[in-house]
Amino acid sequence: MLQDIKLKYGDKEKIFSNPIHPYTKGLFNSIPELTTKTKEEFSVLSGDVPDPIELPGGCFFHSRCKYAEDICLREKPELKKIEGREVACHLY
């Protein structure tokens, strides 16, 4: 199943200034800033991390995505070009 994972590409300036995919947003929100004093002040992705050997059906991120819907559990999202980037998410 790991062979089914496709690399996503995009302009790094756009990815950092305006992340689109919920996982990318979650990663950026989990980075503490210089003013962060406690771990409660930054966001951490919740949910279960999927087993990399036995990835779940549908979107691989659905167990950790606050926007996940039924379709995310059933169908793998197609890679789409959005704002000069490639994103695989049912939200788009």
DSSP 67: T
State how far the Cα of 75 lies from the Cα of 57, in Å rounded to an integer: 7
- pLDDT for position 40: 59
Whether residue 40 contacts residue 32, with contact meaning beta carbons closer than 8 Å, is answered with no
Walk along the chain (92 residues) in steps of 10 and give the mean pLDDT of each run.
53 82 84 70 74 88 91 93 87 89
State how far the Cα of 52 lies from the Cα of 1, in Å rounded to an integer: 9
- pLDDT for position 47: 81
pTM score > 0.75 for this model?
A: no
Whether residue 2 contacts residue 74, with contact meaning beta carbons closer than 8 Å, is answered with no
- pLDDT for position 3: 47
Structure tokens at 2: 């790991």
